[in-house]
Amino acid sequence: MKFDNITKLILINFFNHLYFYIAVITFIYMQKGLDLFQMVCLEVVFVLFILFGEVPTGIFADKYGRKTSIITYCLLFLVSEIIFLLGHGFWMLALSSAIAGTAISFYSGAGEALLYDSLKEQKQQHLMKKHMGTINASVIVAGAIAAIIGSVMATDLSLKSLLLLIQMVIASAIIGTLFSLTLKEPKYKHKIETNPFKLFSSGIKQIKSNPSLMRIVALSIFSTPFFYVITLLYQPYFKSLGINVAWFGAIFAVAMILSALASKYAYKLEGILGVKWGVLLATLTPGIFCVILALLKFTWIAIISFVAIIAINGFSEPLFSHYRNIHIKSFNRATTLSVISLFYCIYEVITRPTIGWIANTNINLAFLVIGIIVIVASLSLQLKPEHVKHKTRF
């Protein structure tokens, strides 16, 4: 294996996603004095700070380097986890979420742009789906490993065991930061004009002037199955069904491993199914399983539905990542991707508090609302092969 940017991005993502507390995070929040609505509000704070940071950090990455932006992401992520360890109550955890959101904004456009332009240097940009799938798979495998370890270590749900999991996350984040320092900045074409406002406006223009890109962005936003919210909700939902906490990690791990495989081989599955049916599978199926979770509250049906939602989520991201990038020019790729992420954030800030408020009263109804939104988006914004063709050479 070559120790190139692709390998380094895999390692950075792996170590920065060893969330040992992921399978019991709802119970950590409870120990720190939060209810379900406040938990989802933390995610809203997280998303808001991604929103505030997306475009400035995208411009930062295009002007000062994607490597610098990724290093900043790693350092801020590390700080957010330390505050999460030491903090108690909504406002301290909100500070942790705000810093984490800012961290993500430094990575969101820069990581994808660095990958694409690194491949472009090697004249291998056609392999974007494959390598993006591998990176996503590394994230998912990290989540699976961490979930199993975490749920076993924290079976008693004691504060001491839960805090130990956060300390382990901090240790792995330090390793991720060290790998970020070894990245190499790829060469990419700079336009003479790098005024931040013109970079931003050119990103908006690229999206507005391209109906296919607009459709891809709209479908990827509105068909998202609210991964983080479902991760929060499944824990009390499973507990209400009498499932032992020790099994949470194993169930989550199975879901993540299947998601990793779906992500890794998304390009092959899409090649078999074609664009239309591949995207329909990636977007419609999670919505259907959310509805099943809402209406059929039986142990094995719940487990299978949850696993399916998480697994299929791994299939969709490499596809949409590739579809977006074939329509975006290199000189402001990070900025344009950050503009797209900004649209994601606006949508999530509007919808997630509502879902959290519903979940605080009725978790089943929250699953039903998510399912209906995803199904309607999937059926009304279907993609065809002509939407994902190269129309311009960059």
Return the pLDDT at 199: 61
| Average pLDDT estimate for 357-370 | 90
Return the pLDDT at 198: 65
Tokens read off for 78:
């590390």
pLDDT, averaged across the chain: 83
Give me the half-sphere count of Cα atoms (radius 13 Å) on the Cβ side of residue 284. 12
pLDDT tens track for 13-53: 999 999 999 888 888 999 999 988 888 889 889 888 887 88
More confident position, 351 or 102? 102
Tokens read off for 330:
């290199």
Return the pLDDT at 392: 45
Say if 193 falls within a structural domain. Answer: no
User: Does the structure show a pLDDT above 70 at 341?
Assistant: yes
User: Does the structure show a pLDDT above 90 at 58?
Assistant: no
Number of domains in the chain: 1
Say if 41 falls within a structural domain. Answer: yes
> How far is Cα 338 from Cα 286, in angstroms, rounded to an integer?
25
More confident position, 67 or 264? 67
User: Does the structure show a pLDDT above 50 at 115?
Assistant: yes
Say if 188 falls within a structural domain. Answer: no
Helix axes 227-240, 246-264, angle to 10 degrees: 150
CB atoms within 10 A of CB 280: 17
Q: What's the domain range around 308?
A: 5-183+208-388
More confident position, 186 or 251? 251
User: Do residues 334 and 109 make contact, with C-beta atoms less than 8 angstroms apart?
Assistant: yes
User: Does the structure show a pLDDT above 70 at 238?
Assistant: yes
Q: What is the CATH number of the domain that holds 173?
A: 1.20.1250.20
> How far is Cα 87 from Cα 92, in angstroms, rounded to an integer?
5
Residue type at 135 in one-letter notation = I
Nearest to 200, CA basis, from 349, 340, 48, 346: 340
Return the pLDDT at 137: 77
CA distances from 234 to 231, 241, 243, 248, 291 (A): 6, 10, 11, 9, 14
CB atoms within 10 A of CB 211: 10
User: Does the structure show a pLDDT above 50 at 2?
Assistant: yes
> How far is Cα 238 from Cα 73, in angstroms, rounded to an integer?
33
User: Does the structure show a pLDDT above 70 at 205?
Assistant: yes
User: Do residues 51 and 345 make contact, with C-beta atoms less than 8 angstroms apart?
Assistant: yes
- Output the DSSP codes for 58-92: HHHHHHH-HHHHHHHHHHHHHHHHHHHHH--SHHH
Say if 190 falls within a structural domain. Answer: no
Return the pLDDT at 154: 85
Say if 45 falls within a structural domain. Answer: yes
Return the pLDDT at 200: 67
User: Does the structure show a pLDDT above 50 at 256?
Assistant: yes
pLDDT band for position 109 (cuts 50, 70, 90): confident
Say if 175 falls within a structural domain. Answer: yes
Nearest to 287, CA basis, from 316, 250, 260, 252: 316
Return the pLDDT at 193: 46
User: Do residues 166 and 88 make contact, with C-beta atoms less than 8 angstroms apart?
Assistant: no
User: Does the structure show a pLDDT above 80 at 328?
Assistant: no
| Average pLDDT estimate for 126-154 | 82
Say if 271 falls within a structural domain. Answer: yes
Return the pLDDT at 204: 77
pLDDT band for position 337 (cuts 50, 70, 90): confident
10 Å CB burial of residue 95 (0-12, 13-18, 19+) is middle
User: Does the structure show a pLDDT above 70 at 66?
Assistant: yes
User: Do residues 290 and 309 make contact, with C-beta atoms less than 8 angstroms apart?
Assistant: yes
> How far is Cα 134 from Cα 196, in angstroms, rounded to an integer?
32
pLDDT tens track for 68-83: 999 999 999 999 999 9
Instruction: Read off the pTM.
Output: 0.68
- Output the DSSP codes for 22-50: GGGHHHHHHHTT--HHHHHHHHHHHHHHH
Say if 195 falls within a structural domain. Answer: no
